[in-house]
Amino acid sequence: MKLGIVVIGAGLLLGIAGSGRAAVNCKQVNKYLATGRSVKDVAETMVIDEKDVKKCQDEAASAPKADDAKGGEMKGGQEGGAK
């Protein structure tokens, strides 16, 4: 009986431990990288793999910048105010 409980407990523990990886917060990773930290330093600080840091870095490099968006610009002569 005790052996069965130990086996079930060990199985649950292994199942929980290997059930998946924590999501990487790329926004935080990129903030750290922007301060001049190395990939290795960021990985150690956030306790994640260096591959995940490089993946976030590559995604940020390929993403369009907010300054490049031209969809919501107001053109000259358009003023928002009641007259």
d(CA 57, CA 79): 39
- Tell me the pTM: 0.53
Per the listing, tokens 């052996």 go with: 3
Q: What is the pLDDT of residues 6-49, one digit of tens each?
A: 667 666 555 554 445 678 999 999 999 999 999 999 999 999 99
Q: What is the pLDDT of residue 19?
A: 44
Buried b (16+ CB within 10 A) or exposed e, 62-80: eeeeeeeeeeeeeeeeeee
